[in-house]
Amino acid sequence: MRRYARITRKLPREIVLLKGLPCIWSRCTFCDYLEDNTEDAQLIERVAREELAKVTGEFRRLEVINSGSVQELTEPVQELIREKLVAAGITEFICESYWAYRHRFEETRRFFGVPTRIKLGVETFDHHLRNGVLNKNMVFDSPAEVAALTDTICLLVGFRGQTRDTVRRDVDLMLEHFAYGCVNLFTPSPKTAALADQPLMDWFRTEYAGLEDHPNIEVLWKNTDFGVG
């Protein structure tokens, strides 16, 4: 497991993958990251200390992920992150969160004390696909409702039930309503292989290769493309 990396091409930053407490939802059908979570608070803190010690602040931008939500890092680890942001001169902090924590987003931003972008995994704007297929338990009325909470979302492409039209709509809505986005090409595991739609993924690679040139949209062709995992 690699837990620290430097992203140098687009939106240069350091990124660390920490351990967190179990995800509050833990029922998404496409997710196989849960095994990296733990209830061992001492282990969570030890991993955090080891990985945050590698952060130099060279890009003044840091991203922390933890196979769940930033709110599921223990309080001591959140404090370690806040201390590192100051010590390393970080001016932009990026983290991830789940819909259930949306009422705490502003509290989270205030806690870390620097401009903080919270990535929200929308996966798709199609209500049935998001909740009936992916089991996200994420209900909202419009993209504008999501955009009022955060300027950064993640989409998932390449699972059964999606069509080219739904993917086009998702990408269009991302570009229209959000300043930043990350598109994740579905990476199947033995647990989730039946959900994969390889022809759709192959089409997306060709149809949306141009997203690589968008300054604020990142595409993960593999789920380890950020260098951690």
CATH of the domain at 32: 3.20.20.70
Residue 82 falls inside a structural domain: yes
Q: Regarding beta strands 152-157 and 180-185, do their DSSP bridges make them parallel or antiparallel, or are they unpaired?
A: parallel
Weakest mean pLDDT among 49-53, 186-190, 203-207: 186-190
pLDDT on residue 32 = 83
Reply yes or no on whether the pLDDT at 177 is more than 90.
yes
pLDDT on residue 143 = 98
> pLDDT tens digits, residue range 31-59?
988 889 999 999 999 999 999 999 999 99
Q: How does the average pLDDT of the chain come out, rounded? A: 97
Reply yes or no on whether the pLDDT at 211 is more than 90.
yes
Provide the edge-to-edge strand list for the sheet that holds 152-157. Answer: 4-7, 13-17, 61-65, 92-97, 116-123, 152-157, 180-185, 217-220
Task: Give the domain extent around 117.
Answer: 4-220
Model pTM score:
0.96
> pLDDT tens digits, residue range 85-108?
999 999 999 999 999 999 999 999
Separation of alpha carbons 169 and 124, rounded Å = 9
Residue 194 falls inside a structural domain: yes
Reported as a pLDDT band with limits 50, 70 and 90, residue 148 is very high
Residue 110 falls inside a structural domain: yes
Residue 228 falls inside a structural domain: no
- Count of domains in the chain? 1
Residue 101 falls inside a structural domain: yes
